[in-house]
Amino acid sequence: MQGLKIEIIKVAERDENTPAVRGNEVIIDEVKKIDENNVPSQILIGAHENGKAFALKTMLVDFREFLIETLEGRNPSAEEALRKSLNTDDGRDPSGQPERWENLTFHNLPLVAVITVLSKMQVDVRNAETEVLNTLYTLIDAASFKFNKLEAVVIPDANYVTLGSNYSAKVFISAIDTTQKPTIMVGDQEIPVDDSGKGIYTVRPTTTGAKPWGGVIKMKAPTGEEISYPFRSSYSVGVPNVVVSPTAMNVMYLGIANPIDVSVPGVSPDNVKIRVVNGNFTSERVRRTGGEYFRGNWAVRPSKAGQNVQVIVSATDAGGKTTSYSPIEFRVKTIPKPEARFAGQNGGTISRNTAMAQQGVFALLPDFDFDLQYKITGFSMLYTDRLGDFEEPSSGSSLTARQKELLGRLTRGKYLTIKDIKAVGPDNRTVDLSPMLFKID
């Protein structure tokens, strides 16, 4: 759980050396992205519900059942307390619909809340260990065995590991005698035991999936009889998660650079590469409307609309092994049509003096995150008074001399129409914009 907290903070901060992490310690006051709610969900839930919260639930369930089995029915109240404190049952969301424990616990929570939840789980686990150890201590018959140290039976370093990494677990009896080494067997293999009576079991998995394992601990009683203590455990092996997220929208737009944030937990960004289907990519940062940059150092330009863009990620770990991941798909849309503006308005009432002070017509994209510019390539002005209709065209965004003369004829209560407005965007498409109608005040 501590590793998950550190990973979430480093990915959210985009800084392997963030001051919020010192060794294996989290300094919550140093976290800058406390309200970040995308990264925790990406890591813990995942785009296809394959995030690390699912492995975490497996570990909690295995640990809870291990503790309950260790008590062997000798303390029902302690067993019930374990089921409540380490509960991972699915439930219902606020609308009453069935929902998985993983989503109910972590989905869409801000970073600071996720860290708090994980910290509480750590406390619950430690309390559960203490409760079981206290119970076991009271059940020890000091007359039968001379123990001088009490510890849990199986403590794995991790129940979920990735291909290429090691699964490691300490295996030893709950009450040990450091003056007598037990014999620990895993299958037909006897594993080494250190001076404190701990056996270290290490294996490198070569396939993914659940990996059950177990064995027996043999120890001599004061009577000379050899007593066996069977044990069992399991761990899960999976492929490391890859996170690819568009940092501007949930879709990509044709004709422009779409920023994406690509990361593989545990792999340096320098060792992560991407390939794009239905598009090309560059290593660059993209500005948003306010001028600041989007998160992410990659930009994708789709080739055509109507076909999804696929981003395929490969990563090389510290051992030199390269892993390719399943494609992440994004829908492709054309850039929204902009709105024309004259004197900062797209219609309504305008004074004669304000109209005459303008230099031209421009276009903008309201409520659009990208910093994009549309160029007006032509428009016409239509004004009607008692002498008839007067229409003057322009082949650009600026007012022509004849259009300025027309504005000089405006009188109060009459109407000015700006129509036939055309604009070209960064995708080189020419679009027709809606006309604007102004009443002269």
pLDDT digits (tens, 9 = 90+) for 1-22: 989 999 999 999 989 999 999 9
Query: For the sheet containing 279-282, what is the strand order?
Result: 243-246, 258-263, 298-302, 279-282
Whether residue 365 sits in one domain with residue 298 = no
Say yes or no: 177 and 190 in one domain: yes
Helix 111-139 to helix 2-13 angle, to the nearest 10 degrees?
Answer: 170
- Tell which of 114, 139, 164 closes a domain: 139
Higher pLDDT, 208 or 198: 198
The answer to whether 393 and 420 have CB atoms below 8 angstroms apart is yes
Q: Are 95 and 156 in a shared domain?
A: no
Q: Residue 298 sits in a domain of what CATH number?
A: 2.60.40
Query: The CATH number of the domain where 227 resides is what?
Result: 2.60.40.10
118 and 177, same structural domain?
A: no
Sign of the CA dihedral running 71, 73, 76, 80: positive
Where residue 374 falls among pLDDT bands split at 50, 70, 90?
Answer: very high
The boundaries of the domain holding residue 268 are 243-333
How far is 13 from 196, CA to CA, in rounded Å? 41
User: Across residues 124-135, what is the average pLDDT?
Assistant: 91
The tens digit of pLDDT for each residue in 83-122 reads 999 999 999 988 889 999 999 989 889 999 999 999 999 9
**Count of the separate structural domains present in the chain:** 4
Please determine, for residue 336, whether its predicted confidence score (pLDDT) is greater than 70: yes
Judge contact between 153 and 198, C-beta under 8 A: no
The 8-class DSSP code of residue 326 comes to P
Kindly give, in sequence order, each residue whose CB lies less than 8 Å from that of residue 199, ignoring residues fewer than 6 positions away. 170, 171, 172, 182, 184, 191, 192, 193, 217
Check if the beta carbon of residue 416 is closer than 8 Å to that of residue 352: no
Tokens representing residue 390 in the block: 């007067």
Please tell me which of 51-65, 146-160, 176-190 the model is most confident about, judged by mean pLDDT: 51-65
Closest CA to 235 of 203, 187, 262, 261: 203
pLDDT at 306: 85
User: Is 0.95 surpassed by the pTM of this model?
Assistant: no
Pair (135, 268) in one structural domain: no
Residues 173, 247, single domain; the answer is: no
Per the CB < 8 A criterion, the answer to whether 311 and 352 are in contact is no
Decide if pLDDT at 182 tops 80.
yes
Whether residues 417 and 319 fall in one domain:
no
Which one of 294, 317, 333 terminates a domain? Answer: 333
Residues 248 and 149 in one domain: no
* Percent of the residues in the chain that have a pLDDT greater than 90, as a whole number: 44
**Final residue of a structural domain among 271, 304, 333:** 333
Q: Tell me the CA distances in angstroms from 196 to 172, 225, 233, 349, one per residue in order.
A: 9, 21, 21, 88
Residues 160, 41 share a domain:
no
Give 142's pLDDT tier (boundaries 50, 70, 90): very low
Dig out the tokens for 155 from the structure: 């403590």
Same domain, 228 and 295: no
| Residue-wise pLDDT tens digits, 396-436 | 999 999 999 999 989 999 999 999 999 998 888 899 999 99
8-state DSSP, 345 = B
Cα–Cα distance for residue pair 87/73, rounded to 1 Å: 19
Q: Are residues 409 and 299 in the same domain?
A: no
**Does 358 lie in the same domain as 254?**
no
User: Each residue of 305-327: pLDDT tens digit?
Assistant: 889 999 999 988 777 888 888 88
Decide which of 207 and 102 is more confident: 102
